[in-house]
Amino acid sequence: MINYNKICVFDFETDGSDPSVCSPVQLAAVMIDPLKLEIIKNSEFNVNFKPERMEKENFKYDDDILNFHAKVRGCEQKDILDLWKSYPSQKNSWEMFTEYLQKYHHRSTKQSQFTAPIAAGYNINRFDMIIVDRLSTKYNNINKEKRQNIFYMRDIIDIMNIVFYWFENNSELKSYSLDSLRDYLGISKDGAHDAIKDVKDCAEILIRFIRLHRKLSTKISFKDSFSHISNV
Amino acid sequence: MSKNLTFSCGCSFRITDQDHIEFNPSVIDINLDCSKTWDLISSGNTKGCFQLESRLGRSMAKKLKPENIEQLAALISIMRPGCLEAYRDGKSVSSHYIDKKNCLESVNYFHQSLEPTLKNTYGEMVYQEQAMEITRTIAGFDLQEADMLRKAIGKKKPEEMAKVKSKFIEGSKIKGIVNESEAEEIFGWIEKSQRYSFNKSHAVSYAMNAYLSAYTKAHFPRVFFASYLRFAKDKIDPQQEIKELIQNANEMDILVKTPDIRLLNQYFILKDKTIYFGLTDIKSVGESVYKKIISIIEENQIDLNSSWPNCLFRLLSNINSTSAKSLISCGAMDYTGISRNKMLFDLGLALKLTDREKNIIIAEILQNNITCMKELFKILLHNGKLIKKRLEDIQESINLLNNPPFSLQDSPEWISDQEDMLLGCPITCSKIDMYDISMTNCNCKDIKNRNYLNDNLTLAVEIDRINTVKTKKGKNAGSNMAFLSVNDGSGSLDSVVLFPEQYAKYKQVLYEGNIIVLKGKSNKKDDSFVVEKVFLPSS
């Protein structure tokens, strides 16, 4: 049973660290072909969002967040604010993303949430998916159960979980952050925290783990492995 | 029958309409000894031919190789479940007939007196008329009595059967051609055969129609496919029908193209030796949308050969968005030379404009012939008639046109998926086009051009279907083996075999939709392909 749904590795850059209130300022994604386990050619998506806060007259940002973005981009805090102001509205950018996802539904069947790409990313369960749920509710991309309907409903691949299972006993990995993982795996950190660089790195890491998993699964049999446990 | 009669009329119409060839495919005038037609039937290339279009029909036509209407009628009769399921000496009646016709089995008539009746069917009782004739020869039945026998067997009433049987035995005694035990045996044979035998007059009329459609396919293949594609909508699975017909058309070097909006044809048409999809053959473009397209074009005198923005703002943005997207995605607007994704992107931006804004743009297109999307949006921005909020939105659109968030190129995979979804099968390209399949070129180019004499064939294919079965015999008895149906855009292969060893080795890469490279041997006799190795092509 092969899952034919494409895997969408995505990442938000935001104007805050609390996913329940912050606004996205950038969203990047790439698609993985689930059969060939390769990044689909020309599948890169990259869009900016004007933060919701900037829609109001007297908005204010903490220095911490502006410093962080200024450092990543190598510019001043003021430049960051000017840049964010010039970004397209959240509604338009979100619409672009949902259109992009629709392009990568499972082929030749009727499009539904079952044919939609599987959401994947680093630490997405605790961060990015919360934003997805918020924006889906805001822009009416919800199903009957009032949950987001843009991604496959049965599965979310959080690469951080996979890393945890493989490295829980490995002290060489300093932490479970994406930067530590990049250091450990020998992936360059040039351009890190730019959403498109992050998603490409994550996609390559995920592909490596799925390949490993597929190879191992043919060699390990679970059949009757619980049969020695008596039924109580 | 009505569909096939309509088909014949359709052929007649389209040939005179498009190619100015006068041809009326009538069974009365048609040459029944056309070698081209019999060759086509014998090669099993009978997709679309009346009664012979199923997989079974195609394979049995290939096995039997009928040479005349008599044999074609027999073929249509022995293809029925009764004949296929009626076994004698460990073989179905159908196989007996085929082997006897091909001189692989000797012909006997049980009794010499039956030879005149059974000669045409090589000693097999295929038709109900033969049974009736035998009762006349052996027992002297008149036509009414013979028909009673047919009815009695058909209704399976024991009392009536007993009556007819005793009449048959008595009659045979009077006639004296066979003795009583032979008469009993012949009656038993008739009884059994009537469970499967077919009405000859029916079979011959079917055969005439089958021949007529095969004749059209052999001599006017383009018309044949255009007509049959038109009727594909009426099939239980139209998508599968379109797919099979187009694959078959490709195998016969007939060009089938995606719809072209400039032609404004509602259904499939044949134009300049090319078959084009009709606009209503696109999923989500119905008759009402078609009529709307025609009326918009006529009312506004739109020249579809003009610029892309002209078509976009004056036509596509005025029909429902799903239909407009489908028209673009399936290739109906490809003549513009712009990628389908770019056109979809532009459509998305155009749909966000108000009617007033669209009218400003249309005026610019008509007055100054501006064909650049960015330019048109910039004019809108500097028009001075829009409110601040709208200006921000227009500026956003310009930014998106300058820097689209995703690639606007069309990948072969996307194109083939869209065409598969909207037209029923990929037309412009195959998913295989995405891969480096240069390794296949030294031994074999594609399915259509494979060389049967070459023992070492390499084919790059997409897997359509997988059927796994357990082997019953041989050293690997009980192991799984697989039969694949594959295609490569040029044609399809239905019997690709992976024996247990190969299946176990390569099963990881065998799944529907996967693109693989097969190395193996092709067998022309049964058209199978036995796989030795499987590779994954690099992209």
Query: What span, in angstroms and rounded, lies between the C-alpha atoms of B41 and A182?
Result: 64
Calculate how close chain B gets to A35, using CA atoms only, in Å. Answer: 7
Whether the pLDDT of residue B454 is over 70: the answer is no
Whether the CB-CB separation of B60 and B78 falls below 8 Å is answered with yes
Whether the pLDDT of residue B526 is over 80: the answer is no
B462 in reach of chain A (CB within 8 A): no
Calculate how close chain B gets to A111, using CA atoms only, in Å. Answer: 10
Closest CA to B210 of B92, B75, B367, B301: B75
Q: According to the model, what pLDDT value does residue B6 have?
A: 52
Whether the pLDDT of residue B339 is over 90: the answer is yes
- Substitution target in B243, B284, B396 with the highest count of A β-carbons within 10 Å is B396
Residue with token string 């045996």: B185
Residue with token string 């006897």: B100
- Substitution target in A6, A41, A94, A100 with the highest count of B β-carbons within 10 Å is A41
Q: Residue B128 — pLDDT band, cuts 50, 70, 90?
A: confident
Whether the CB-CB separation of B135 and B190 falls below 8 Å is answered with yes
CB contact (8 A) between residue B348 and residue A107: no
Q: What chain A residue is nearest to B423 in terms of C-alpha separation?
A: A108
A47 in reach of chain B (CB within 8 A): yes
Query: What span, in angstroms and rounded, lies between the C-alpha atoms of B277 and B266?
Result: 8
Q: According to the model, what pLDDT value does residue B67 have?
A: 93
Q: According to the model, what pLDDT value does residue B448 have?
A: 63
Query: What span, in angstroms and rounded, lies between the C-alpha atoms of B352 and B333?
Result: 21
Whether the pLDDT of residue B286 is over 60: the answer is yes
Lowest mean pLDDT among A204-218, B230-244, B269-283, B290-304: B230-244
| DSSP string computed for B339-384 | -HHHHHHHHHHHHTS-HHHHHHHHHHHHHH----HHHHHHHHHTSS
Classified as helix, coil or strand, A202 is helix
β-pairing, B269-271 vs B274-276, is antiparallel
Closest CA to A118 of A154, A160, A161, A163: A154
- Is the alpha carbon torsion for A112, A118, A123, A128 positive or negative? negative
pLDDT, tens digit, 9 for 90 and up, residues B162-191: 888 889 999 999 988 888 888 988 888 888
Closest CA to B488 of B460, B519, B508: B460
Q: What chain A residue is nearest to B508 in terms of C-alpha separation?
A: A218
Whether the CB-CB separation of B443 and B454 falls below 8 Å is answered with yes
Average of per-residue pLDDT across A151-157: 91
Using a CB-CB cut-off of 8 Å, the residues of chain A touching B392 are 89
Whether the CB-CB separation of B334 and B410 falls below 8 Å is answered with no
B513 in reach of chain A (CB within 8 A): yes
Whether the pLDDT of residue B43 is over 70: the answer is yes
Q: According to the model, what pLDDT value does residue B110 have?
A: 77
Helix B238-251 and helix B221-231, axial crossing angle in degrees, nearest 10: 170
Q: According to the model, what pLDDT value does residue A230 have?
A: 63
CB contact (8 A) between residue A96 and residue B511: no
Q: Residue B351 — pLDDT band, cuts 50, 70, 90?
A: very high
pTM confidence score:
0.79
Q: According to the model, what pLDDT value does residue B109 have?
A: 82
Beta bridge partners of B466: B484
Q: How many CB pairs under 8 A join A and B?
A: 56
Q: According to the model, what pLDDT value does residue B488 have?
A: 82
Q: According to the model, what pLDDT value does residue B1 have?
A: 37
Whether the pLDDT of residue B234 is over 90: the answer is no
| DSSP string computed for B62-82 | HHH---SHHHHHHHHHHTSHH
- Burial call A170-182: b when 16+ CB within 10 Å, e when fewer: eeebeeeebeebb
- Average pLDDT of chain B to the nearest whole number: 85
| Assigned token pair, B98 | 């085929």
Q: Residue B444 — pLDDT band, cuts 50, 70, 90?
A: low
Lowest mean pLDDT among A190-199, B240-249, B392-401: A190-199
- Substitution target in A2, A112, A211 with the highest count of B β-carbons within 10 Å is A2
Using a CB-CB cut-off of 8 Å, the residues of chain B touching A97 are 405
A88 in reach of chain B (CB within 8 A): yes
A214 in reach of chain B (CB within 8 A): yes
**DSSP label at residue A125:** I
Q: What chain B residue is nearest to A211 in terms of C-alpha separation?
A: B508
| Assigned token pair, B93 | 């009646």
- Substitution target in A37, A40, A48, A50 with the highest count of B β-carbons within 10 Å is A40
User: What percent of chain B shows pLDDT beyond 90?
Assistant: 39
**Which residues, in sequence order, are CB contacts of A100 under 8 Å at separation 6+?**
A29, A45, B405, B406
CB atoms within 10 A of CB B270: 23
Classified as helix, coil or strand, B515 is strand
Q: According to the model, what pLDDT value does residue A142 have?
A: 93
Q: What are phi and psi of B43, to 5 degrees?
A: -80, -5
Q: According to the model, what pLDDT value does residue B10 have?
A: 47
CB contact (8 A) between residue B396 and residue A214: no
CB contact (8 A) between residue B417 and residue A47: no
CB contact (8 A) between residue A88 and residue B400: yes
**Which residues, in sequence order, are CB contacts of B277 under 8 Å at separation 6+?**
B229, B256, B257, B258, B259, B268, B330, B423, B427
Query: What span, in angstroms and rounded, lies between the C-alpha atoms of B386 and B401?
Result: 20
CB contact (8 A) between residue A89 and residue B421: no
Lowest mean pLDDT among B124-128, B350-354, B449-453, B520-524: B449-453
User: What percent of chain A shows pLDDT beyond 70?
Assistant: 96
Q: According to the model, what pLDDT value does residue B495 have?
A: 83
CB contact (8 A) between residue B405 and residue A40: no
CB contact (8 A) between residue A100 and residue B420: no
Query: What span, in angstroms and rounded, lies between the C-alpha atoms of A86 and A78?
Result: 13
CB contact (8 A) between residue A44 and residue B536: no
What interface predicted TM-score (ipTM) does this complex get? 0.80
Query: What span, in angstroms and rounded, lies between the C-alpha atoms of B477 and B373?
Result: 66
Calculate how close chain A gets to B421, using CA atoms only, in Å. Answer: 5
B81 in reach of chain A (CB within 8 A): no
Calculate how close chain A gets to B409, using CA atoms only, in Å. Answer: 8
**Which residues, in sequence order, are CB contacts of A129 under 8 Å at separation 6+?**
A119, A156
Classified as helix, coil or strand, B274 is strand
- Burial call B69-88: b when 16+ CB within 10 Å, e when fewer: bebbbbbbbbbbebbbebee
